Amino acid sequence: MNPIVLWIPGKPEAKPRPRACVLGKHAHIYQPKPAWVKTVKGVAEKQAPTTPLIPPVCVDIAFLMPRPKSHFGTGKNADRLRANAPVLHMAKPDRDNLDKLILDVLQDCGYFANDSEVVWGSVLKMWALSVESGAYVRIYSVGDNIDTFTDWLLEMRNEV
């Protein structure tokens, strides 16, 4: 099966932790929903498979974070990236929380029955190369073909 590739525009946001508050004499627990969930869901629903992918599933994600003004020049060079501007995004939000939001939305949209079926995938956080930030997501069923896994494991074993 060919991979499903999604482009999700916007500023990537992490899945927030559940919050608790006291209203009167009662404690309430709630899950805040970032605005980006709606964007992710809108894109994912348009390309959702009619039936869930056959597990195991691979999900690769590249998050392109919006660059701060400090990465650009000043004056007439305000639209040019500084030569020393970093490529990789090594700040909050954490990659695992970014990943979790995407996986939860994909599960809700029917890409897989449970995100525990996702057994493989890479996550990259980098600064956007252009003005537009967002995320590229590639989803595919690995099926019985585990050559990708075994090749990688053998390569890792030889390095240790």
pLDDT at residue 35, rounded to an integer = 87
Q: Give the C-alpha distances (Å, rounded to integers) separating 27 from 15, 20, 23.
A: 22, 7, 6
Partnered with residue 72 across adjacent β-strands are: 81
- Rounded CA Rg of the chain: 19
pLDDT at residue 145, rounded to an integer = 64
Q: Which domains does the chain show, CATH number per domain?
A: 4-159 (3.30.1330.70)
Name the residue among 45, 60, 24, 39 with its Cα closest to residue 134.
39
pLDDT at residue 153, rounded to an integer = 67
pLDDT at residue 146, rounded to an integer = 63
Q: What angle do CA 153, 63, 83 make, to 5 degrees?
A: 105
**Mean pLDDT per 10-residue interval, the chain, length 160 residues:** 91 82 78 83 97 94 94 91 93 95 97 95 91 92 70 65
Q: Which long-range contacts (CB under 8 A, 24 or more apart) does 15-22 make?
A: 15/97, 15/98, 15/100, 15/101, 15/104, 16/97
